[in-house]
Structure 1
Amino acid sequence: MSSIRFDEKDNYIERLEKKIFSQGRPVSGQIDVTYQCNLKCQHCFIKQEEYKKELEFDEITRIINDIKKAGCLWLCLSGGEPFLRKDFLDIYTYARKRGFLISIFTNGTLITPRIADCLAEFPPYSIEITLNGLTKKVYEEVTQIKGSFIRVMRAIEMIKERGLPLVLKSNGMKINRDEILKITKFSEELLGKKRFRCDLVLYPGIDGSKKPCSLRLTPDEILNIQYSDNEMLSLCREQFLHHKENARLKEGYLFPCGLTSFHIDPYGEMRLCSFIKEEYADLKEEEFLKGFIRLYSKLTSLKAKKNTKCRDCKIDYLCRQCPGRALVENGDMESPVEFYCELAHKQEEMKEEVVKKVL
């Protein structure tokens, strides 16, 4: 199977996605093959649980087969750090041969020439390496591991040399605030446009920990970075000009749209929202599609019980609020998260200026 490049997603794939979704099937999903990691990133939202037994290779391949039967198109393999698993290349190769469009999320520091050569032989759709600093000082302040900066830069070089579909990405936080735009420029010079992704908002841990939120940029800092980069600015402009009102929210449903993706943790528990811990399917016991349909039906039928300001909000299309994030930040799925609310309103205040500036 030939590799489809990151920047070549065309109308055919979009039509295929719509067809899959119209049949009530998942379009995309992520399998975290381990929660173990060789770095200790300060903003990490995953809690390593050494005492829990992770899925064996045979269990993962069985689940992959079930996902394929369900018609899923996109599959992300992630962690933790996926390359810590000695059988990760076997897992990846198996999934690749099953015909998925695969993305690998990695910190890159464990990539060796042998691993890079294997990926070059069977290229994924994309390899996404997190680069949270462009200097040793900042990068290693984030990762808290000495020597990690030179390893990630070597990995980027190896992947680039082999012509693999590399994407760099960053998380904006107080530590690297002054390097985000430099990373953006570095990525564009190295890889070209549309090969960098940056999320300027940090979220709580999936275990409910608020620690990552202590490193958040302020709304003003986020907007200052966002509107200082032409590519980010262009995305903001598109959001302003082409948003659609979400009828489901106005009708009182908690989830604003159909859930088209899933997340499977290293222990075989599948969720449609990683933050809603109690709603899951144990794929060691339940068949994948049956579990997906059960969770989908339950979550998409949930209706609001509170009459919050979110119900009548005119700028909900700008807001990061969702039931799962509200649950871990406020303790319930409906109460507005004030940080997201403030950020959305400050974005809306700049709408006219942003549209004119890009034009």
Structure 2
Amino acid sequence: RLKTMAMTLNRNELSDIKEYAEGLGVKFRFDPILNPKLDGSKTPCNFRLSPEEVVKLDLADEKRANEWREFCERSIGPYQVDNLFNCGAGVSTFHIDPYGQMSSCEMVRFQNYDLRRGSFEEGWHRAIPEFLALKPTSDYPCGQCELISLCGQCPGWAYLENGNPETPVEYLCQIAHLRAEAFNTKEL
């Protein structure tokens, strides 16, 4: 399997990369969603494709477009979540950085458990569930958004992008709305 990030630096080479992978008999996919660095630097964001370009790439590949249509068909709709975290982070996976800090996800840097001061058991069975049970402290628009499954909105990403885990990442919102417009067969 070959995967690449789609960005301004290689947007005109994606079809060549796909052709190369197919020539090798391996599956190819790309991810057009660049996030800030883990230290909060937004330098990678300078190489993001515009939301319109992301959806144009989705539409250009028939298989990818069909996958998005099927996903929209089963995933868009009324959504109500009370917790800040609504993804799979910390459910069956975790992240430990080189300094022994355990978190629910590699992007979540605003909450962690120090394994140098406690046990893995304590971190996995007490700390991570406490992190995942966090409730938004303000009006959290993502918790009621019908398109949240399309956007990849996440507290870790929001913290890196905005310095606040509850502030939506506008770039992701824009892509979600454009994808819903392009692929949704239901009336919103």
- The normalised TM-score by structure 2 is 0.86
Cα distance between partner residues in 2 of 1:301 and 1:245? 23
Distance 1:188 1:242, change over 3 A: farther
- Cα drift, residue 243 of structure 1: 1.8
- Three-state SS of the structure 2 residue aligned to 1:310 is helix
Q: Within the alignment, does 1:170 sit opposite 2:4 as a pair?
A: yes
Unaligned runs of 5+ in 2: none
Could you say which residue in structure 1 is the equivalent of 2:59?
227
Could you say which residue in structure 2 is the equivalent of 1:75?
none
Q: Within the alignment, does 1:187 sit opposite 2:21 as a pair?
A: yes
Could you say which residue in structure 2 is the equivalent of 1:40?
none
Cα distance between partner residues in 1 of 2:78 and 2:24? 38
Q: Which moved more, 1:261-270 or 1:202-211?
A: 261-270
Contact 1:270 1:280 in 2 (8 A): yes
Could you say which residue in structure 2 is the equivalent of 1:198?
30
> Deviation string for 1:121-180 (max 9, x for gaps)?
xxxxxxxxxxxxxxxxxxxxxxxxxxxxxxxxxxxxxxxxxxxxxx21100110001111
Cα distance between partner residues in 2 of 1:289 and 1:265? 17
- Cα drift, residue 326 of structure 1: 0.8
2:134 aligned partner, one-letter code = L
Q: Within the alignment, does 1:255 sit opposite 2:89 as a pair?
A: no
- Three-state SS of the structure 2 residue aligned to 1:239 is helix
Cα distance between partner residues in 2 of 1:206 and 1:235? 30
1:334 aligned partner, one-letter code = E
1:256 aligned partner, one-letter code = N
> Deviation string for 1:76-133 (max 9, x for gaps)?
xxxxxxxxxxxxxxxxxxxxxxxxxxxxxxxxxxxxxxxxxxxxxxxxxxxxxxxxxx
Contact 1:246 1:256 in 2 (8 A): no
Q: Within the alignment, does 1:304 sit opposite 2:130 as a pair?
A: no
Tell which has more relative contact order, 1 or 2 (C-alpha 8 A, sep 6+).
2
Summarize the alignment of residues 144-155 of structure 1 with structure 2, pairs less than 5 Å apart.
none
Cα distance between partner residues in 2 of 1:236 and 1:334? 26
Contact 2:110 2:159 in 1 (8 A): no
- Cα drift, residue 207 of structure 1: 1.3
- Cα drift, residue 327 of structure 1: 0.9
Summarize the alignment of residues 194-343 of structure 1 with structure 2, pairs less than 5 Å apart.
195-243=27-75, 250-258=80-88, 259=90, 260-343=92-175
Cα-Cα RMSD: 2.3
- Three-state SS of the structure 2 residue aligned to 1:261 is coil
- The normalised TM-score by structure 1 is 0.47
Unaligned runs of 5+ in 1: 1-166
- Cα drift, residue 188 of structure 1: 1.9
- Cα drift, residue 190 of structure 1: 1.1
> Deviation string for 1:191-244 (max 9, x for gaps)?
24xx22311110011111111111100011111112111332232123112227
- Cα drift, residue 352 of structure 1: 4.7
Identity of aligned pairs, percent? 36
2:20 aligned partner, one-letter code = F
